């Protein structure tokens, strides 16, 4: 056996090794930001495309219900059509009160989407503000906001809503804004907690320290540098909570403490369909299906955003 010194090693000539072609790297392309990289991932995901199309369609239906039905949902109610089968112009049949199911489902989209959107916007304003202050300043500010959030965390959404809606100011003024206020009072702590955690991760970053060393105030640093870089989990949570708040409105209306019966919503239609659930269960099926599809769309969108904005899933 030959020793290591006697073993001949073959080295390929440089001209025969296309290193320049193999290891070429484009240096003129700017690196993608978090949002640009996320958008590149999202537009290739069927989950995001399908959920986005469904949500856009729901928004159009809520904003312009007259484009999808010409039937007045309340004025056309006739007891002669009670539990009637589908007919020309009435594709889903009639309710127990003789109202057109399709027209009520289309017009009920407006109240449900409105409650969800307004609730999320108000929760974002309150939760992001308090969470950002708690995470950025810490100390007694963090402790005070954390204890305040714990008080509301102790109240489940539905149970807390049952208590709050019994107050005279809520019981005597039931409407969209009342339901939104109840949901916001009980829904902001989760947003504040997520925002606090995201701000804590960003506040000690190098670019934040550089901005502070250049004379940027603490509030300016928080608004201009910390929050924009902590938006990813906030956006994901807001998307998912929109579906949760729509379900909360339907549940409260089903229990008779949400929207009044004069306002069309899927929760009110589901509650009214209880009287016909044995004789004609399809009356309950249609508004329940609309509610389920809406919530599923927002959950799917939230899942897609979470996967795209998660730093751990980004390719290095």
Cβ pair 291, 247 in contact under 8 A? yes
Res 27 pLDDT > 60: no
In a domain, 184, yes or no: yes
pLDDT, mean of residues 26-36: 60
> Residue 119's pLDDT is what?
93
pLDDT at 312: 54
Q: Which residues contact 146 (CB under 8 A, 6 or more apart)?
A: 134, 196
Percent with pLDDT over 90 in the chain = 19
- Per-residue pLDDT at 28: 53
What pLDDT score does 26 carry? 55
Q: Is residue 9 part of a domain?
A: no
Token pair 């989950």 in the structure block, residue: 47
What are the DSSP calls for 197-218, one per residue? HHHHHHHTSHHHHHHHHTT--H
- Domain span at 250: 39-313
As a whole number, mean pLDDT of residues 16-36 equals 57
Q: Are 230 and 201 in contact (CB under 8 A)?
A: yes
| Residue 125's pLDDT band (cuts 50, 70, 90) | very high
Is pLDDT of 177 > 50? yes
Q: Is the pLDDT of residue 30 over 60?
A: no
pLDDT at 235 over 50: yes
CA distances from 156 to 9, 50, 111, 163, 271 (A): 74, 32, 23, 11, 22
Domain membership of residue 10 (yes or no) is no
Write down the pLDDT at residue 316. 42
For residue 301, is it within any domain? Answer: yes
Rounded to 5°, the CA angle 87-91-92 comes to 105
Number of domains in the chain: 1
Tell me how far apart the alpha carbons of residues 311 and 316 are, in angstroms, rounded to a whole number: 10
20: left (phi over 0), alpha (psi -120 to 50) or beta: alpha
256: in domain: yes
- The whole-number average pLDDT for the span 84-110 is 83
CATH number of domain containing 292? 1.10.3720.10
Instruction: Report the distance separating Cα 63 and Cα 67, nearest Å.
Output: 9
48 to 44, 52, 129: CA distances (angstroms)? 8, 6, 29
Q: Residue 88 falls within a domain, yes or no? A: yes
DSSP the chain: ---TTT-------GGGS-HHHHS----SSPPPPHHHHHHHHHTT-HHHHHHHHHHHHHHHHHH-GGGT--S-TTTT--GGGTTPPPBTTBTT-B-TTS-BHHHHHHHHHHHHHHHHHHHHHHHHHHHHHHHHHHHHH-HHHHHHHHHHHHHHHTS-HHHHHHHHTTSHHHHSS-SHHHHHHHHHHHHHHHHHHHHHHHHHHHHTSHHHHHHHHTT--HHHHIIIIIGGGGHHHHHHHHHHHHHHHHHHHHHHHHTTSSS-TTS--HHHHHHHGGGGTTT-THHHHHHHHHHHHHHHHHHHHHHHHHHHH-GGGS--
From CA 235, how far away is CA 241, in angstroms rounded? Answer: 10
Q: What would the pLDDT profile of 246-272 be if each residue is shown by its tens digit?
A: 998 888 888 888 888 788 888 888 888
User: Judging by beta carbons within 10 Å of its beta carbon (0-12, 13-18, 19+), is residue 168 exposed, middle or buried?
Assistant: exposed
What pLDDT score was predicted for residue 41? 80
Residue 315's pLDDT band (boundaries 50, 70, 90)?
very low
In a domain, residue 25? The reply is no
Mean pLDDT over residues 279-288, rounded? Answer: 86
Answer whether residue 297 shows pLDDT above 70: yes
Instruction: Report, as an integer, the average pLDDT of 53-63.
Output: 92
Domain-embedded: residue 294: yes
- Rounded to an integer, the average pLDDT of 49-68 is 90
- Residue 87's beta-bridge partner residues? 90
Average pLDDT, the chain: 82
Residue 108 has pLDDT above 60, yes or no: yes
pLDDT the model gives residue 15: 63
The whole-angstrom separation of Cα 84 and Cα 71 is 16
pLDDT given for residue 170 in this prediction:
80
């Amino acid at each position: 056996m030959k020793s290591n010194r006697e073993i001949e090693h073959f080295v390929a000539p440089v001209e025969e090794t296309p290193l320049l072609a193999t290891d070429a790297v484009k240096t003129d392309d700017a690196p993608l930001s978090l949002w640009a990289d996320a958008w590149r991932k999202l537009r290739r995901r069927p989950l995001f495309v399908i959920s986005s199309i469904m949500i856009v369609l729901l928004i159009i239906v809520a904003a312009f219900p007259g484009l999808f039905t010409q039937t007045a949902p309340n004025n056309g109610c006739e007891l002669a059509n009670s539990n009637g089968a589908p007919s020309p112009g009435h594709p889903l049949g009639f309710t127990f009160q003789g109202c057109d199911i399709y027209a009520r489902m289309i017009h009920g989209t407006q109240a449900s989407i409105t409650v969800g959107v307004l609730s999320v916007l108000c929760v974002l304003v309150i939760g992001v503000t308090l969470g950002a202050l708690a995470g950025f300043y810490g100390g007694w500010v963090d402790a005070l906001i954390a204890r305040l959030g714990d008080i509301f965390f102790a109240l489940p959404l539905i149970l807390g809503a049952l208590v709050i809606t019994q107050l005279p100011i809520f019981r005597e003024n039931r409407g969209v804004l009342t339901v939104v206020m109840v949901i916001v009072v009980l829904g902001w702590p989760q947003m504040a907690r997520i925002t606090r955690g995201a701000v804590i991760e960003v506040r000690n970053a190098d670019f934040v320290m550089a901005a502070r060393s250049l004379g940027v105030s603490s509030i300016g640093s928080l608004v201009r540098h910390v929050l924009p870089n902590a938006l990813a989990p906030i956006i994901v949570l807001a998307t998912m909570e929109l579906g949760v708040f729509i379900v909360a409105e339907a549940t409260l209306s089903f229990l008779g403490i949400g929207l009044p019966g004069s306002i069309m919503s899927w929760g009110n239609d589901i509650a009214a369909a209880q009287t016909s659930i044995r004789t004609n269960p399809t009356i309950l099926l249609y508004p329940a299906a609309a509610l389920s599809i809406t919530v599923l769309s927002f959950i799917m969108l939230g899942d897609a955003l979470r996967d795209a904005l998660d730093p751990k899933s980004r390719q290095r």
